[in-house]
Amino acid sequence: MKFADEFRNAVTPRAALLVIGVLALQLLFIASYVGALHNPKPKDVAFGVVAPVPAVAQQTAQKLDKLPGSPVDPRVVADERTARQQIMDRKIDGALVVDPRGTSDTLLVASGGGTVLASALETLATEVGAAQQRTVKTVDVAPASSQDFDGLSSFYLVVGWCVGGYLCASIMSISAGSKPASPQRAAIRLGTMALVAIAGGIGGSLIIGDSILGALPGSFWALAGLGALVTFSVGAITLALEELTGVVGIGLAVLLIVVAGNPSAGGAFPLPMLPPFWQAIGPWLPPGAGTWVARSIAYFQGNDVTKSLLVLSAWAVVGVVVTLLVAGVREKKRTAAAV
């Protein structure tokens, strides 16, 4: 057989398209991760300002608002207690408590929401204070665990759950030779996905908790439930994409979860330190929503999780509905064709 004939047999149009797709994913992966993480800096960080005299607080907030690059979005807060509560409620990421009677102020941060952001706020406050011949004492309102380096454990936990979701869904489809599922098989796959999600949620919570690694505090069952929801939502949307596009759906799931979702999740660098595009999409994708909830459970008494849980639930519902709907429509077409 001539080389040209051998080449045509080996490199089919379908294989060529899949290779091109992989190349595109590779380049998008590089562009997404480097684009999101290559130059992190705080931008419009929600930041409280407290002072016993309202005029001093307002003046300080105005000065902070005029800093080059707009690193913080300052707002006057009534008192230190309110500032601490707003940090715990995840309404603000830090606060400066000004003491006009002395030369030392207090910076409130929450390293549980990301130590990189807490450090950036500390550096910023120290520089601003030094310019005015003032010192700053930092108080960590919600400190990250000593076993949770850079506050990354929540992110890696969620990434593991996401990986389990799309890999399990992919394996179930590939094991059947990428054949479209009947409604019954689609339901079986979704049921299996639910069982895997529950096991993965409990397993992940067990590994990261006090029983084994002790990397993350917080309610065992709350984290286990989150893990089940994250895993199932990713698995369900992967099954839906596979029903719609076949094996290409696996690549689309990787694009959605890994390429777009992971760098925008606020894991390595919290959302206020990411470029605008990644800040905008992160909370609406499973890795970002899951990371936010995991940190809230671990360090913020479970506050401010409703939106993120609704996002994860929406992905799960869409995945289930599309998977069953497409399988049902395809079955009707097959039945009609057979008649």
Distance CA 327, CA 226 (A): 28
CA angle (103, 105, 106) in 5-degree steps: 160
Which among 231, 213, 229 has a CA at the least distance from the CA of 161?
A: 231
Give residue 241's pLDDT: 95
Distance CA 230, CA 237 (A): 11
Give residue 337's pLDDT: 75
Q: Which tokens is 337 given?
A: 């064709």
145 by Cβ neighbours in 10 Å (0-12 / 13-18 / 19+) ranks as: middle
Place of tokens 């992919």: 170
Alpha carbons within 13 A on the beta-carbon side of 330: 18
C-alpha dist (Å) from residue 18 to 4, 13, 24, 224, 257: 21, 9, 10, 36, 19
What would the pLDDT profile of 1-18 be if each residue is shown by its tens digit? 566 666 566 667 777 787
Distance CA 248, CA 316 (A): 20
Q: Are strands 72-76 and 135-140 parallel, antiparallel or unpaired?
A: unpaired
**Which residue ranges of the chain lie beneath pLDDT 70?**
1-11, 176-180, 338-339
Q: Which tokens is 151 given?
A: 């506050």
Distance CA 172, CA 239 (A): 9
Give residue 339's pLDDT: 63
170 by Cβ neighbours in 10 Å (0-12 / 13-18 / 19+) ranks as: buried
CA angle (119, 122, 125) in 5-degree steps: 150
Distance CA 306, CA 314 (A): 12
- In 10 A of CB 43, how many CB atoms? 17
What would the pLDDT profile of 150-201 be if each residue is shown by its tens digit? 889 999 999 999 999 999 999 988 875 556 678 888 999 999 999 999 999 9
N residues, the chain: 339
